[in-house]
Protein backbone atom coordinates (compact mmCIF):
# COMPACT_ATOMS: atom_id res chain seq x y z
CA UNK A 1 0.00 0.00 0.00
CA UNK A 2 1.25 3.43 -0.89
CA UNK A 3 0.74 6.11 1.72
CA UNK A 4 0.74 9.79 0.84
CA UNK A 5 2.27 10.45 4.24
CA UNK A 6 5.44 8.62 3.23
CA UNK A 7 5.33 8.44 -0.57
CA UNK A 8 8.32 10.10 -2.19
CA UNK A 9 6.44 12.72 -4.12
CA UNK A 10 5.88 16.43 -4.03
CA UNK A 11 3.14 17.96 -6.11
CA UNK A 12 3.64 21.47 -7.39
CA UNK A 13 1.02 24.15 -7.30
CA UNK A 14 2.42 26.02 -10.28
CA UNK A 15 3.39 24.83 -13.70
CA UNK A 16 7.14 24.53 -14.15
CA UNK A 17 8.26 27.44 -16.33
CA UNK A 18 10.28 25.31 -18.73
CA UNK A 19 7.43 22.97 -19.58
CA UNK A 20 5.19 23.81 -22.48
CA UNK A 21 3.33 20.69 -23.51
CA UNK A 22 0.67 19.24 -21.18
CA UNK A 23 2.37 15.89 -20.61
CA UNK A 24 5.59 17.54 -19.52
CA UNK A 25 3.83 20.09 -17.32
CA UNK A 26 1.59 17.60 -15.59
CA UNK A 27 4.09 14.79 -15.16
CA UNK A 28 6.40 17.23 -13.38
CA UNK A 29 3.65 18.93 -11.39
CA UNK A 30 2.11 15.69 -10.23
CA UNK A 31 5.46 14.34 -9.13
CA UNK A 32 6.06 11.61 -11.74
CA UNK A 33 9.32 12.84 -13.22
CA UNK A 34 12.04 15.42 -12.64
CA UNK A 35 14.43 16.83 -15.19
CA UNK A 36 17.92 15.65 -14.31
CA UNK A 37 19.99 16.46 -17.38
CA UNK A 38 19.50 18.06 -20.79
CA UNK A 39 17.12 15.56 -22.37
CA UNK A 40 17.19 13.23 -19.37
CA UNK A 41 14.60 12.61 -16.70
CA UNK A 42 14.48 10.96 -13.30
CA UNK A 43 11.51 8.70 -12.72
CA UNK A 44 9.94 9.17 -9.30
CA UNK A 45 7.96 6.36 -7.64
CA UNK A 46 4.63 7.16 -9.29
CA UNK A 47 6.19 7.68 -12.70
CA UNK A 48 8.31 4.58 -12.42
CA UNK A 49 5.22 2.52 -11.69
CA UNK A 50 3.53 3.83 -14.84
CA UNK A 51 6.62 3.21 -16.94
CA UNK A 52 6.90 -0.35 -15.67
CA UNK A 53 3.24 -1.00 -16.42
CA UNK A 54 3.63 0.18 -19.99
CA UNK A 55 6.75 -1.93 -20.24
CA UNK A 56 4.87 -4.95 -18.86
CA UNK A 57 2.15 -4.64 -21.50
CA UNK A 58 4.73 -4.34 -24.26
CA UNK A 59 6.61 -7.33 -22.88
CA UNK A 60 3.46 -9.40 -22.52
CA UNK A 61 2.43 -8.88 -26.14
CA UNK A 62 5.93 -9.40 -27.48
CA UNK A 63 6.24 -12.64 -25.54
CA UNK A 64 2.88 -13.91 -26.66
CA UNK A 65 3.67 -13.28 -30.32
CA UNK A 66 6.69 -15.49 -29.83
CA UNK A 67 9.49 -12.95 -29.60
CA UNK A 68 12.16 -13.60 -26.99
CA UNK A 69 13.62 -10.99 -24.73
CA UNK A 70 17.36 -10.41 -24.51
CA UNK A 71 19.38 -7.54 -23.18
CA UNK A 72 22.45 -5.89 -24.65
CA UNK A 73 24.82 -3.44 -23.06
CA UNK A 74 24.07 0.18 -23.83
CA UNK A 75 27.78 0.88 -24.09
CA UNK A 76 29.19 -0.67 -27.24
CA UNK A 77 32.60 -0.80 -28.86
CA UNK A 78 33.26 1.29 -31.93
CA UNK A 79 34.43 -1.50 -34.21
CA UNK A 80 31.00 -3.09 -34.46
CA UNK A 81 29.54 0.15 -35.73
CA UNK A 82 32.47 0.55 -38.10
CA UNK A 83 31.38 -2.65 -39.84
CA UNK A 84 28.22 -0.97 -41.09
CA UNK A 85 29.72 2.48 -41.42
CA UNK A 86 27.36 3.87 -38.84
CA UNK A 87 30.12 5.11 -36.53
CA UNK A 88 30.51 7.90 -39.10
CA UNK A 89 27.06 7.90 -40.67
CA UNK A 90 25.28 8.57 -37.41
CA UNK A 91 27.18 11.81 -37.09
CA UNK A 92 26.65 14.13 -34.18
CA UNK A 93 23.64 12.21 -32.94
CA UNK A 94 25.86 9.47 -31.60
CA UNK A 95 27.20 9.67 -28.07
CA UNK A 96 30.85 8.64 -28.19
CA UNK A 97 33.19 8.02 -25.32
CA UNK A 98 36.62 6.57 -24.61
CA UNK A 99 37.78 4.05 -22.06
CA UNK A 100 40.97 4.41 -20.01
CA UNK A 101 43.05 2.95 -22.79
CA UNK A 102 41.70 5.44 -25.27
CA UNK A 103 39.49 2.92 -27.08
CA UNK A 104 36.33 4.32 -28.62
CA UNK A 105 32.90 3.37 -27.38
CA UNK A 106 29.42 4.61 -28.10
CA UNK A 107 26.12 4.62 -26.31
CA UNK A 108 23.71 2.63 -28.41
CA UNK A 109 21.16 4.69 -30.36
CA UNK A 110 19.67 1.47 -31.75
CA UNK A 111 20.99 -2.07 -31.94
CA UNK A 112 20.69 -3.55 -35.44
CA UNK A 113 24.36 -4.53 -35.50
CA UNK A 114 24.28 -6.23 -32.12
CA UNK A 115 21.20 -8.31 -32.89
CA UNK A 116 22.48 -9.29 -36.31
CA UNK A 117 25.85 -10.38 -34.93
CA UNK A 118 24.22 -12.22 -32.05
CA UNK A 119 22.14 -14.34 -34.41
CA UNK A 120 25.16 -14.86 -36.65
CA UNK A 121 27.10 -15.97 -33.61
CA UNK A 122 24.65 -18.68 -32.59
CA UNK A 123 22.64 -19.74 -35.62
CA UNK A 124 23.67 -21.22 -38.93
CA UNK A 125 20.78 -23.26 -40.27
CA UNK A 126 17.44 -22.52 -41.88
CA UNK A 127 16.01 -24.85 -39.26
CA UNK A 128 16.73 -22.21 -36.63
CA UNK A 129 14.57 -19.63 -38.39
CA UNK A 130 12.39 -17.74 -38.08
CA UNK A 131 13.33 -16.07 -34.83
CA UNK A 132 12.35 -12.73 -33.32
CA UNK A 133 14.36 -11.14 -30.52
CA UNK A 134 13.70 -7.98 -28.61
CA UNK A 135 14.96 -5.89 -25.75
CA UNK A 136 13.60 -3.06 -23.67
CA UNK A 137 16.49 -0.74 -23.16
CA UNK A 138 17.69 2.75 -22.58
CA UNK A 139 18.75 4.37 -25.83
CA UNK A 140 21.01 7.33 -26.30
CA UNK A 141 20.80 9.89 -29.06
CA UNK A 142 22.49 13.24 -28.87
CA UNK A 143 19.48 15.08 -30.26
CA UNK A 144 20.13 18.53 -31.63
CA UNK A 145 17.14 19.76 -29.71
CA UNK A 146 15.62 17.68 -26.94
CA UNK A 147 12.15 19.00 -26.29
CA UNK A 148 8.76 18.56 -24.71
CA UNK A 149 9.92 16.57 -21.71
CA UNK A 150 9.70 12.87 -22.36
CA UNK A 151 8.56 13.28 -25.95
CA UNK A 152 12.06 13.81 -27.29
CA UNK A 153 14.86 13.12 -24.88
CA UNK A 154 18.47 12.20 -25.37
CA UNK A 155 18.08 9.20 -23.11
CA UNK A 156 14.86 7.26 -23.45
CA UNK A 157 13.41 3.80 -23.03
CA UNK A 158 12.71 1.87 -26.18
CA UNK A 159 11.56 -1.60 -27.04
CA UNK A 160 13.35 -2.68 -30.17
CA UNK A 161 12.89 -6.01 -31.85
CA UNK A 162 14.31 -7.70 -34.89
CA UNK A 163 13.02 -10.59 -36.94
CA UNK A 164 15.18 -13.02 -38.86
CA UNK A 165 13.76 -15.01 -41.76
CA UNK A 166 15.00 -17.18 -44.55
CA UNK A 167 12.91 -15.56 -47.30
CA UNK A 168 10.62 -12.67 -48.16
CA UNK A 169 7.46 -14.56 -47.30
CA UNK A 170 8.84 -15.24 -43.86
CA UNK A 171 9.75 -11.60 -43.42
CA UNK A 172 6.25 -10.57 -44.44
CA UNK A 173 4.82 -12.94 -41.83
CA UNK A 174 7.13 -11.67 -39.10
CA UNK A 175 6.33 -8.12 -40.08
CA UNK A 176 2.61 -8.74 -39.86
CA UNK A 177 2.97 -10.52 -36.53
CA UNK A 178 4.74 -7.46 -35.12
CA UNK A 179 2.25 -5.11 -36.68
CA UNK A 180 -0.62 -7.06 -35.10
CA UNK A 181 1.15 -7.15 -31.73
CA UNK A 182 1.63 -3.39 -31.91
CA UNK A 183 -2.05 -2.90 -32.56
CA UNK A 184 -2.84 -4.96 -29.47
CA UNK A 185 -0.28 -3.06 -27.39
CA UNK A 186 -1.59 0.38 -28.29
CA UNK A 187 -5.16 -0.78 -27.83
CA UNK A 188 -4.34 -2.01 -24.34
CA UNK A 189 -2.57 1.26 -23.59
CA UNK A 190 -5.72 3.08 -24.79
CA UNK A 191 -3.44 5.07 -27.03
CA UNK A 192 -5.21 6.15 -30.22
CA UNK A 193 -3.05 5.49 -33.26
CA UNK A 194 -2.98 5.83 -36.99
CA UNK A 195 -0.81 3.53 -39.06
CA UNK A 196 0.79 5.58 -41.79
CA UNK A 197 2.90 4.57 -44.74
CA UNK A 198 6.44 5.76 -44.23
CA UNK A 199 9.48 6.07 -46.41
CA UNK A 200 12.03 3.35 -45.99
CA UNK A 201 14.66 5.88 -47.02
CA UNK A 202 18.33 5.21 -46.63
CA UNK A 203 17.75 2.05 -44.59
CA UNK A 204 17.12 0.35 -47.90
CA UNK A 205 14.18 -1.86 -47.01
CA UNK A 206 10.77 -2.14 -48.51
CA UNK A 207 7.62 -1.92 -46.42
CA UNK A 208 7.70 0.59 -43.61
CA UNK A 209 4.88 1.91 -41.49
CA UNK A 210 4.72 4.26 -38.55
CA UNK A 211 2.26 4.18 -35.68
CA UNK A 212 1.36 7.75 -34.92
CA UNK A 213 -0.73 8.96 -32.01
CA UNK A 214 -2.73 11.80 -33.54
CA UNK A 215 -1.85 14.59 -31.12
CA UNK A 216 -1.43 18.25 -31.99
CA UNK A 217 1.89 18.67 -30.14
CA UNK A 218 3.42 15.80 -32.13
CA UNK A 219 6.36 16.40 -34.42
CA UNK A 220 5.23 14.30 -37.35
CA UNK A 221 2.98 15.57 -40.07
CA UNK A 222 0.84 13.05 -41.87
CA UNK A 223 -2.12 13.02 -44.19
CA UNK A 224 -5.24 10.98 -43.90
CA UNK A 225 -8.22 10.65 -46.13
CA UNK A 226 -11.45 12.20 -44.94
CA UNK A 227 -13.36 9.28 -46.42
CA UNK A 228 -11.37 6.05 -46.70
CA UNK A 229 -8.72 4.67 -44.37
CA UNK A 230 -5.69 5.88 -46.37
CA UNK A 231 -3.03 7.62 -44.35
CA UNK A 232 0.64 8.32 -44.92
CA UNK A 233 3.56 10.30 -43.70
CA UNK A 234 3.71 13.45 -45.84
CA UNK A 235 6.96 12.27 -47.41
CA UNK A 236 5.39 9.01 -48.46
CA UNK A 237 2.16 10.31 -49.96
CA UNK A 238 1.64 9.33 -53.56
CA UNK A 239 -0.33 11.41 -56.00
CA UNK A 240 -3.62 10.03 -57.23
CA UNK A 241 -3.16 8.70 -60.76
CA UNK A 242 -4.41 11.36 -63.13
CA UNK A 243 -5.65 10.80 -66.63
CA UNK A 244 -3.92 12.62 -69.48
CA UNK A 245 -5.36 15.92 -70.66
CA UNK A 246 -6.79 15.32 -74.16
CA UNK A 247 -7.97 18.86 -74.93
CA UNK A 248 -6.31 20.65 -77.84
CA UNK A 249 -4.48 23.85 -77.23
CA UNK A 250 -3.22 26.82 -79.19
CA UNK A 251 0.27 26.78 -80.61
CA UNK A 252 3.00 27.68 -78.18
CA UNK A 253 3.83 31.37 -78.29
CA UNK A 254 6.68 33.30 -76.71
CA UNK A 255 5.69 36.62 -75.15
CA UNK A 256 7.79 39.31 -73.55
CA UNK A 257 7.30 39.43 -69.82
CA UNK A 258 9.70 42.03 -68.45
CA UNK A 259 10.30 42.12 -64.71
CA UNK A 260 8.37 38.95 -63.98
CA UNK A 261 10.79 36.79 -62.05
CA UNK A 262 8.12 35.46 -59.68
CA UNK A 263 4.92 33.54 -60.29
CA UNK A 264 2.79 36.30 -58.78
CA UNK A 265 4.33 39.03 -60.93
CA UNK A 266 3.97 36.86 -64.02
CA UNK A 267 0.27 36.17 -63.41
CA UNK A 268 -0.42 39.87 -62.83
CA UNK A 269 1.45 40.80 -65.99
CA UNK A 270 -0.39 38.24 -68.13
CA UNK A 271 -3.78 39.36 -66.87
CA UNK A 272 -2.89 42.96 -67.69
CA UNK A 273 -1.32 42.37 -71.10
CA UNK A 274 -2.37 38.96 -72.42
CA UNK A 275 -5.81 38.46 -70.88
CA UNK A 276 -7.55 35.18 -71.54
CA UNK A 277 -11.02 35.30 -73.01
CA UNK A 278 -12.50 32.63 -70.75
CA UNK A 279 -11.07 33.49 -67.31
CA UNK A 280 -8.16 35.15 -65.57
CA UNK A 281 -4.69 33.59 -65.51
CA UNK A 282 -3.92 31.78 -62.27
CA UNK A 283 -0.74 30.63 -60.62
CA UNK A 284 -1.83 27.06 -61.31
CA UNK A 285 -1.54 27.77 -65.06
CA UNK A 286 2.18 28.23 -64.70
CA UNK A 287 4.89 25.60 -64.60
CA UNK A 288 7.60 26.37 -62.09
CA UNK A 289 10.97 24.74 -62.66
CA UNK A 290 12.88 24.36 -59.42
CA UNK A 291 16.62 23.90 -59.76
CA UNK A 292 18.13 21.53 -57.24
CA UNK A 293 21.47 19.94 -56.64
CA UNK A 294 21.84 16.30 -55.68
CA UNK A 295 24.78 15.32 -53.55
CA UNK A 296 25.47 11.64 -54.07
CA UNK A 297 26.99 9.45 -51.37
CA UNK A 298 30.29 9.32 -53.28
CA UNK A 299 30.50 13.11 -52.96
CA UNK A 300 29.69 13.93 -56.57
CA UNK A 301 26.92 16.38 -57.39
CA UNK A 302 24.29 16.55 -60.09
CA UNK A 303 21.89 19.30 -61.10
CA UNK A 304 18.25 18.30 -61.20
CA UNK A 305 15.30 20.42 -62.30
CA UNK A 306 11.86 19.55 -61.00
CA UNK A 307 8.72 20.95 -62.61
CA UNK A 308 5.76 21.72 -60.37
CA UNK A 309 2.58 23.77 -60.90
CA UNK A 310 3.21 27.42 -60.05
CA UNK A 311 0.71 27.49 -57.22
CA UNK A 312 2.54 24.74 -55.35
CA UNK A 313 5.81 24.60 -53.45
CA UNK A 314 8.41 21.92 -54.04
CA UNK A 315 8.95 19.77 -50.93
CA UNK A 316 12.67 19.12 -50.72
CA UNK A 317 12.36 16.48 -48.00
CA UNK A 318 9.83 14.57 -50.03
CA UNK A 319 12.06 14.70 -53.08
CA UNK A 320 15.03 13.68 -51.00
CA UNK A 321 13.17 10.63 -49.71
CA UNK A 322 12.85 9.45 -53.31
CA UNK A 323 16.43 10.01 -54.37
CA UNK A 324 17.87 8.66 -51.12
CA UNK A 325 20.64 8.16 -50.21
CA UNK A 326 21.54 11.26 -52.22
CA UNK A 327 20.96 14.59 -50.49
CA UNK A 328 19.04 17.45 -52.03
CA UNK A 329 19.66 21.17 -51.76
CA UNK A 330 18.70 24.21 -53.82
CA UNK A 331 21.34 25.02 -56.46
CA UNK A 332 23.55 27.83 -55.22
CA UNK A 333 24.95 30.79 -57.17
CA UNK A 334 28.15 28.96 -57.98
CA UNK A 335 26.11 26.10 -59.39
CA UNK A 336 24.12 28.43 -61.61
CA UNK A 337 27.34 29.96 -62.84
CA UNK A 338 28.37 26.55 -64.17
CA UNK A 339 25.12 26.21 -66.10
CA UNK A 340 24.71 29.32 -68.24
CA UNK A 341 21.82 27.62 -70.06
CA UNK A 342 19.68 27.98 -66.94
CA UNK A 343 18.28 31.53 -66.92
CA UNK A 344 17.08 32.12 -63.38
CA UNK A 345 13.41 32.99 -63.21
CA UNK A 346 12.86 32.14 -66.87
CA UNK A 347 13.75 28.46 -67.05
CA UNK A 348 11.56 26.40 -69.33
CA UNK A 349 11.48 22.70 -70.17
CA UNK A 350 12.59 23.26 -73.75
CA UNK A 351 16.24 23.27 -72.66
CA UNK A 352 15.91 20.61 -70.01
CA UNK A 353 16.23 16.86 -70.09
CA UNK A 354 18.97 14.33 -70.57
CA UNK A 355 18.97 14.75 -74.37
CA UNK A 356 18.55 18.53 -74.38
CA UNK A 357 21.00 21.36 -74.88
CA UNK A 358 21.89 21.56 -71.20
CA UNK A 359 21.72 17.84 -70.52
CA UNK A 360 20.24 18.61 -67.10
CA UNK A 361 17.98 15.90 -65.76
CA UNK A 362 14.35 17.06 -65.69
CA UNK A 363 11.56 15.44 -63.70
CA UNK A 364 7.92 16.47 -63.42
CA UNK A 365 5.54 16.25 -60.54
CA UNK A 366 2.76 13.80 -61.53
CA UNK A 367 0.22 16.63 -61.38
CA UNK A 368 1.79 17.97 -64.58
CA UNK A 369 -0.06 15.41 -66.68
CA UNK A 370 0.59 14.52 -70.28
CA UNK A 371 -1.34 16.78 -72.65
CA UNK A 372 -1.73 19.69 -70.22
CA UNK A 373 -0.74 23.20 -71.30
CA UNK A 374 1.41 25.59 -69.31
CA UNK A 375 2.86 29.04 -69.07
CA UNK A 376 6.52 28.68 -68.39
CA UNK A 377 9.91 30.24 -68.90
CA UNK A 378 11.18 30.79 -72.43
CA UNK A 379 14.83 30.45 -71.38
CA UNK A 380 15.40 34.08 -72.28
CA UNK A 381 15.46 36.72 -69.59
CA UNK A 382 12.18 38.65 -69.70
CA UNK A 383 10.23 36.14 -71.77
CA UNK A 384 7.78 33.37 -71.06
CA UNK A 385 6.01 30.97 -73.34
CA UNK A 386 2.23 30.37 -73.40
CA UNK A 387 0.42 27.17 -74.39
CA UNK A 388 3.38 24.90 -73.96
CA UNK A 389 1.95 21.39 -73.91
CA UNK A 390 3.51 18.48 -72.05
CA UNK A 391 4.17 15.74 -74.58
CA UNK A 392 3.58 17.97 -77.61
CA UNK A 393 6.13 20.69 -77.02
CA UNK A 394 8.38 19.14 -74.44
CA UNK A 395 9.11 15.93 -72.60
CA UNK A 396 10.74 15.22 -69.26
CA UNK A 397 13.01 12.42 -68.13
CA UNK A 398 10.33 11.09 -65.81
CA UNK A 399 8.19 11.99 -62.84
CA UNK A 400 8.90 12.52 -59.17
CA UNK A 401 6.54 13.25 -56.27
CA UNK A 402 7.64 16.80 -55.67
CA UNK A 403 4.92 19.17 -54.47
CA UNK A 404 4.37 19.93 -50.85
CA UNK A 405 1.31 17.96 -49.86
CA UNK A 406 -1.59 20.23 -48.94
CA UNK A 407 -4.92 19.74 -47.25
CA UNK A 408 -7.55 19.07 -49.88
CA UNK A 409 -5.27 17.15 -52.23
CA UNK A 410 -7.04 14.08 -53.58
CA UNK A 411 -6.58 10.77 -51.81
CA UNK A 412 -4.55 8.35 -53.95
CA UNK A 413 -7.00 5.54 -53.33
CA UNK A 414 -10.44 7.17 -53.37
CA UNK A 415 -9.80 10.76 -54.56
CA UNK A 416 -11.66 12.35 -51.70
CA UNK A 417 -9.81 15.26 -50.09
CA UNK A 418 -6.93 14.53 -47.76
CA UNK A 419 -6.50 16.30 -44.45
CA UNK A 420 -3.25 17.11 -42.70
CA UNK A 421 -2.72 16.22 -39.06
CA UNK A 422 0.07 16.02 -36.53
CA UNK A 423 1.09 13.02 -34.52
CA UNK A 424 3.65 11.53 -32.18
CA UNK A 425 5.54 8.56 -33.54
CA UNK A 426 4.96 5.83 -30.98
CA UNK A 427 5.96 2.85 -33.04
CA UNK A 428 7.64 1.90 -36.28
CA UNK A 429 7.60 -1.38 -38.14
CA UNK A 430 10.08 -1.83 -40.93
CA UNK A 431 11.11 -4.53 -43.36
CA UNK A 432 14.85 -4.02 -43.27
CA UNK A 433 15.60 -6.72 -45.77
CA UNK A 434 19.15 -7.98 -46.19
CA UNK A 435 21.12 -4.80 -45.72
CA UNK A 436 22.55 -5.62 -42.30
CA UNK A 437 22.72 -9.35 -42.90
CA UNK A 438 24.69 -8.76 -46.09
CA UNK A 439 27.08 -6.30 -44.53
CA UNK A 440 27.66 -8.33 -41.40
CA UNK A 441 27.67 -11.71 -43.10
CA UNK A 442 24.59 -13.26 -41.52
CA UNK A 443 23.64 -16.22 -43.65
CA UNK A 444 22.43 -19.74 -42.96
CA UNK A 445 22.48 -23.02 -44.87
CA UNK A 446 19.19 -23.85 -46.60
CA UNK A 447 17.71 -27.28 -47.36
CA UNK A 448 20.12 -27.68 -50.26
CA UNK A 449 23.18 -26.85 -48.23
CA UNK A 450 23.50 -23.45 -49.85
CA UNK A 451 24.36 -20.26 -47.98
CA UNK A 452 21.35 -17.93 -47.92
CA UNK A 453 21.48 -14.38 -46.60
CA UNK A 454 18.93 -13.86 -43.85
CA UNK A 455 16.28 -11.17 -44.26
CA UNK A 456 15.44 -8.97 -41.32
CA UNK A 457 12.77 -6.70 -39.94
CA UNK A 458 13.17 -4.08 -37.26
CA UNK A 459 10.43 -2.83 -35.00
CA UNK A 460 10.45 -0.18 -32.32
CA UNK A 461 8.20 1.23 -29.65
CA UNK A 462 9.17 4.27 -27.62
CA UNK A 463 8.20 3.14 -24.13
CA UNK A 464 8.96 6.36 -22.25
CA UNK A 465 7.50 8.33 -25.12
CA UNK A 466 4.34 6.23 -24.85
CA UNK A 467 3.96 7.35 -21.23
CA UNK A 468 4.11 10.98 -22.34
CA UNK A 469 1.76 10.32 -25.24
CA UNK A 470 -0.79 8.74 -22.92
CA UNK A 471 -0.52 11.77 -20.65
CA UNK A 472 -1.12 13.97 -23.70
CA UNK A 473 -4.29 12.09 -24.51
CA UNK A 474 -5.60 11.63 -20.96
CA UNK A 475 -5.57 14.86 -19.00
CA UNK A 476 -7.68 17.92 -18.31
CA UNK A 477 -7.18 21.26 -16.59
CA UNK A 478 -7.08 19.59 -13.18
CA UNK A 479 -4.43 17.04 -13.97
CA UNK A 480 -3.77 13.58 -15.34
CA UNK A 481 -6.31 10.81 -15.75
CA UNK A 482 -4.66 7.50 -16.44
CA UNK A 483 -6.18 4.60 -18.27
CA UNK A 484 -6.71 1.82 -15.75
CA UNK A 485 -4.19 -0.53 -17.32
CA UNK A 486 -1.24 1.73 -16.62
CA UNK A 487 -2.41 3.78 -13.65
CA UNK A 488 0.28 3.77 -10.95
CA UNK A 489 -2.27 2.19 -8.58
CA UNK A 490 -5.84 0.92 -8.95
CA UNK A 491 -7.51 3.17 -6.43
CA UNK A 492 -6.74 6.37 -4.55
CA UNK A 493 -8.41 6.61 -1.16
CA UNK A 494 -8.74 10.13 0.20
CA UNK A 495 -9.34 10.19 3.92
CA UNK A 496 -10.48 13.58 5.20
CA UNK A 497 -10.63 12.78 8.89
CA UNK A 498 -8.30 13.59 11.74
CA UNK A 499 -5.88 11.14 13.13
CA UNK A 500 -7.63 8.30 14.94
CA UNK A 501 -11.22 9.37 14.33
CA UNK A 502 -13.95 7.20 12.85
CA UNK A 503 -13.25 8.46 9.35
CA UNK A 504 -9.56 7.57 9.54
CA UNK A 505 -10.34 4.15 10.93
CA UNK A 506 -12.91 3.48 8.21
CA UNK A 507 -10.50 4.66 5.53
CA UNK A 508 -7.70 2.43 6.75
CA UNK A 509 -10.07 -0.54 6.96
CA UNK A 510 -11.30 0.02 3.41
CA UNK A 511 -7.75 0.33 2.13
CA UNK A 512 -6.74 -2.93 3.81
CA UNK A 513 -9.77 -4.73 2.42
CA UNK A 514 -9.14 -3.53 -1.10
CA UNK A 515 -5.53 -4.55 -0.87
CA UNK A 516 -6.61 -7.96 0.38
CA UNK A 517 -8.60 -8.27 -2.86
CA UNK A 518 -5.37 -7.81 -4.78
CA UNK A 519 -5.79 -4.16 -5.64
CA UNK A 520 -2.99 -1.62 -5.55
CA UNK A 521 -3.97 1.15 -3.19
CA UNK A 522 -2.76 4.67 -2.56
CA UNK A 523 -4.22 6.12 0.61
CA UNK A 524 -3.97 9.80 1.43
CA UNK A 525 -3.45 9.40 5.15
CA UNK A 526 -1.75 12.73 5.69
CA UNK A 527 -2.72 14.27 8.97
CA UNK A 528 -3.37 17.97 9.23
CA UNK A 529 -3.72 18.43 5.48
CA UNK A 530 -7.00 20.03 4.52
CA UNK A 531 -9.49 18.12 2.35
CA UNK A 532 -9.16 20.68 -0.43
CA UNK A 533 -5.47 19.97 -0.77
CA UNK A 534 -6.10 16.23 -0.86
CA UNK A 535 -8.78 16.57 -3.52
CA UNK A 536 -6.55 18.73 -5.69
CA UNK A 537 -3.68 16.31 -5.35
CA UNK A 538 -5.89 13.36 -6.21
CA UNK A 539 -7.11 15.07 -9.35
CA UNK A 540 -3.60 16.07 -10.35
CA UNK A 541 -2.17 12.59 -9.80
CA UNK A 542 -5.00 11.14 -11.84
CA UNK A 543 -5.75 7.68 -10.50
CA UNK A 544 -8.96 6.75 -12.40
CA UNK A 545 -10.90 5.75 -9.28
CA UNK A 546 -10.88 7.98 -6.23
CA UNK A 547 -12.68 6.92 -3.05
CA UNK A 548 -13.37 9.67 -0.55
CA UNK A 549 -13.89 8.56 3.01
CA UNK A 550 -15.12 11.66 4.77
CA UNK A 551 -18.12 13.45 6.06
CA UNK A 552 -20.66 11.31 4.22
CA UNK A 553 -19.53 8.46 6.44
CA UNK A 554 -22.07 9.87 8.89
CA UNK A 555 -24.76 8.55 6.53
CA UNK A 556 -22.85 5.30 6.12
CA UNK A 557 -21.54 6.26 2.69
CA UNK A 558 -18.26 6.77 0.91
CA UNK A 559 -17.87 8.76 -2.31
CA UNK A 560 -16.86 6.98 -5.45
CA UNK A 561 -15.31 9.40 -7.91
CA UNK A 562 -14.57 8.61 -11.51
CA UNK A 563 -11.67 10.78 -12.64
CA UNK A 564 -12.46 10.24 -16.32
CA UNK A 565 -16.22 10.83 -16.18
CA UNK A 566 -15.96 13.45 -13.46
CA UNK A 567 -18.81 11.77 -11.56
CA UNK A 568 -19.21 11.49 -7.81
CA UNK A 569 -21.48 8.78 -6.44
CA UNK A 570 -22.47 8.04 -2.85
CA UNK A 571 -22.00 4.34 -2.13
CA UNK A 572 -22.83 2.57 1.14
CA UNK A 573 -19.62 1.67 2.82
CA UNK A 574 -20.74 -1.93 3.04
CA UNK A 575 -20.77 -2.11 -0.78
CA UNK A 576 -17.56 -0.18 -1.31
CA UNK A 577 -15.11 -3.05 -1.66
CA UNK A 578 -17.25 -4.98 -4.06
CA UNK A 579 -17.98 -1.90 -6.19
CA UNK A 580 -14.36 -0.81 -6.47
CA UNK A 581 -13.11 -4.30 -7.16
CA UNK A 582 -15.71 -4.69 -9.91
CA UNK A 583 -14.64 -1.41 -11.48
CA UNK A 584 -11.00 -2.37 -11.51
CA UNK A 585 -11.61 -5.88 -12.80
CA UNK A 586 -13.76 -4.73 -15.69
CA UNK A 587 -10.93 -2.46 -16.74
Partner RNA sequence: CGGGCUGUAGCGCAGCUUGGUAGCGCGCUUGUCUGGGGGACAAGAGGUCGUGGGUUCAAAUCCCGCCAGCCCGACCA
Binding residues for RNA, rule: CB under 7 A, are: 10-21, 38-39, 93, 110, 141, 143-149, 152, 201, 219-220, 316-317, 425, 428, 460, 478, 496, 498, 527-533, 535-537, 539-540, 548-553, 559, 568
For RNA, the closer of residues 257 and 431 by Cβ is 431
Which SS3 state, helix, strand or coil, does residue 23 take? helix
For RNA, the closer of residues 53 and 465 by Cβ is 465
Minimum separation from the CB atom of position 144 to RNA (A): 4
Task: Report the distance separating Cα 190 and Cα 121, nearest Å.
Answer: 39
For RNA, the closer of residues 335 and 531 by Cβ is 531
Minimum separation from the CB atom of position 152 to RNA (A): 7
Minimum separation from the CB atom of position 108 to RNA (A): 13
For RNA, the closer of residues 147 and 484 by Cβ is 147
Task: Report the distance separating Cα 149 and Cα 18, nearest Å.
Answer: 9
Minimum separation from the CB atom of position 116 to RNA (A): 16
Burial of 164 (0-12, 13-18, 19+ CB in 10 A): buried
Cβ contacts of 415 within 8 Å, gap of 6 or more? 240
Minimum separation from the CB atom of position 309 to RNA (A): 21
**CA nearest to 322, candidates 419, 400, 379:** 400
Burial of 431 (0-12, 13-18, 19+ CB in 10 A): buried
For RNA, the closer of residues 28 and 50 by Cβ is 28
Helices (H), 517-572: 531-541
Task: Report the distance separating Cα 238 and Cα 211, nearest Å.
Answer: 19
Minimum separation from the CB atom of position 13 to RNA (A): 4
Minimum separation from the CB atom of position 30 to RNA (A): 8
For RNA, the closer of residues 281 and 535 by Cβ is 535
Cβ–Cβ < 8 Å for 532, 548 = no
For RNA, the closer of residues 154 and 384 by Cβ is 154
Write out the DSSP string of 392-441: TTB--SEE---BPP-TTPBPTTT-SBEEEEEEEEEEEEEEEETHHHHHHT
Task: Report the distance separating Cα 456 and Cα 405, nearest Å.
Answer: 32
Cβ contacts of 169 within 8 Å, gap of 6 or more? none
Cα dihedral 527/564/179/60 (nearest 10): 30
Residue 259 C-beta-side C-alpha neighbours within 13 Å: 2
For RNA, the closer of residues 19 and 485 by Cβ is 19
For RNA, the closer of residues 487 and 496 by Cβ is 496
Task: Report the distance separating Cα 22 and Cα 36, nearest Å.
Answer: 19
Minimum separation from the CB atom of position 28 to RNA (A): 8
Minimum separation from the CB atom of position 174 to RNA (A): 18
Q: How far lies 126's CA from each of 68, 129, 448, 455, in Å?
A: 18, 5, 10, 12
Minimum separation from the CB atom of position 302 to RNA (A): 18
For RNA, the closer of residues 19 and 242 by Cβ is 19
Amino acid sequence: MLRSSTLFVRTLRDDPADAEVPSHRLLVRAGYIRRAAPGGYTWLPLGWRVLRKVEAIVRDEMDSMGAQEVHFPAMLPRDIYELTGRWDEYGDNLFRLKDRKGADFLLGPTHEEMFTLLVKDLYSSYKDLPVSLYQIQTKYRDEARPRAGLLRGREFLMKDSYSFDIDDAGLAASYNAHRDAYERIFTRLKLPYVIVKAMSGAMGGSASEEFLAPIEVGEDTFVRCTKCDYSANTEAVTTAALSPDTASYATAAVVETPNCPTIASLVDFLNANHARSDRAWKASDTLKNVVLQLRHPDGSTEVLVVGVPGDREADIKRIEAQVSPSEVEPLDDAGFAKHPGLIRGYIGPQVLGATSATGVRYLLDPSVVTGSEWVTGANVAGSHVLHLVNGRDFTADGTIEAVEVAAGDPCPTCREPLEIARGIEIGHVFQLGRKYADTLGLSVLDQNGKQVVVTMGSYGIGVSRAVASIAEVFHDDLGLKWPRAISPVDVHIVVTGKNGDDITIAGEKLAAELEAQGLEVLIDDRNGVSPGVKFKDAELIGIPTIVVVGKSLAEGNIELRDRHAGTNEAVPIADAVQRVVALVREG
